[in-house]
Amino acid sequence: MGGWQPLPDGLPAEVRHFVDQLRQLKDRTGLSLAGLGAATAYSKSSWHRYLNAVQPPPRQAVAALCRVAGVAGADAERHVVRWELAVEAWPKPPPAAGGGFGQEYEDDPTVPWWDRLEEPAPQPPPRTAGRLLLYAVLLLLALLLVAVGGAVAFG
């Protein structure tokens, strides 16, 4: 794996093995990080973080890398299993000073941010059954007037 910077000391074996496998897949593509970013839905900087064990990749990123590397079927599934083991063992970084953005990541990188919102979006008030009943009665009266008017007009 020429050209790769050494992985951080103290990484769990599952994480180290998984990242080594990702690096091999990336090398197999022959693409640069920018090229890999263009071929997947993940940026060059995201791939840099994933391939240097700074942050665990989302499961979909692993699937995208497998697709670009031409890995499918049981081989691709093995990479997903390695991903599951690695994400469980991945060390959690300390929060950034001041609570700002640092090298933090969510506990589950596979859950979209919109599913992690603490407060649900405000919902419009539900329509009452009484209002719907009124509309149904008015519609029925309008249909009845049209039917009576048609019968009178056409005899």
Question: What is the C-alpha to C-alpha distance for residues 26 and 37, in angstroms, rounded to an integer?
Answer: 11
Q: 20 Cβ partners below 8 Å, 6+ apart?
A: 1, 7
pLDDT on residue 101: 45
Which residues of the chain fall below pLDDT 50? 1, 99-104, 106
pLDDT at residue 8, as a whole number: 86
Distance CA 83, CA 117 (A): 25
**Residue 100: its pLDDT value, please?**
47
> Quick one: pLDDT at residue 155?
73
Per-residue pLDDT, 132? 81
What is the identity of the amino acid at 85?
L
